Copies of this chain bind each other. A is one copy, B any other.
Amino acid sequence: MKLYGAPNPAPNPRRVRIFLAEKGIDLPETLVNMMQREHKADDFVAKNSLGQIPVLELDDGEIITETISICRYLEGIHPDKPLFGTTPLEVAKIDMAIRRVEFQLMNPVGNFWRHAHPYTAKLLTQFKDFGESNREAVARAMLWLDRELEGHDFIHGNSYTMADIAALTTVDFADWIGLPMPEDAKRLRDWHARVTARPSAAA
């Protein structure tokens, strides 16, 4: 089994590393040099037609892409310390929590990164006004998440799950591109301190 990834600040490979650290799974990462566009080279695109990382290649050649799907597979073969839930209700609610983090928060963070950040200006056609509008959308999403955290230590209730990994990596990436947590998002800030204190966050 071979895991293709990239160093921080790329948020998706970090998600897999945090997941592996939380589960105690030893799976070394083969680094793909994104600065040299190795993820868009023919041999890599033959593995993932979207030219994205991470990618998990199984010993029989099967390929799994998409961060959450890779982690879901690893959870399937290493069910201990579950991070995706075990009952149908837990599985569905953690899936729901992950999706809400992605659609509400990760999407506007990604839109700002692609359309308003100076780094991507060199690589993409930007729609700057639209990009900038996501600054407010991100703040709004963070304040929504702050309210959702009322009475909970973690994104999905009171246990740490894949939804916390999705949210932590998104919040940290957002901060790195200039979109910090709002000052008054007290619960979100407390949650961030809580999940950052876990050894896995160093991944």
Contact = CB atoms under 8 A, between A and B. Distances in A.
Interface of A: 49-50, 58, 62, 64-66, 68-70, 72-73, 75-77, 87-89, 91-93, 95-96, 99-100, 104, 107, 115, 125, 127, 129-130, 133, 144, 147-148
Contacts of A88: 72-73, 75-77
Each complex incorporates copies of this chain amounting to: 2
Contact of A62 (B66, B69, B89): B89
A148 B70 contact: no
Contact of A99 (B68, B76, B144): B68
Contacts of A58: 89
Nearest 6 CB-CB pairings of A with B? A76-B88, A73-B92, A127-B130, A69-B96, A130-B130, A69-B95
B95 A68 contact: yes
Contacts of A66: 95-96, 99-100
Contacts of A91: 72-73, 76
B49 A64 contact: no
A75 to B, nearest CB: 8
Contacts of A72: 88, 91-92, 95
Contacts of A96: 64-66, 69
A100 B77 CA distance: 23
A24 B115 CA distance: 44
A96 B65 CA distance: 6
A99 B166 CA distance: 15
A134 to B, nearest CB: 10
Contact of A127 (B70, B104, B133): B133
A11 to B, nearest CB: 14
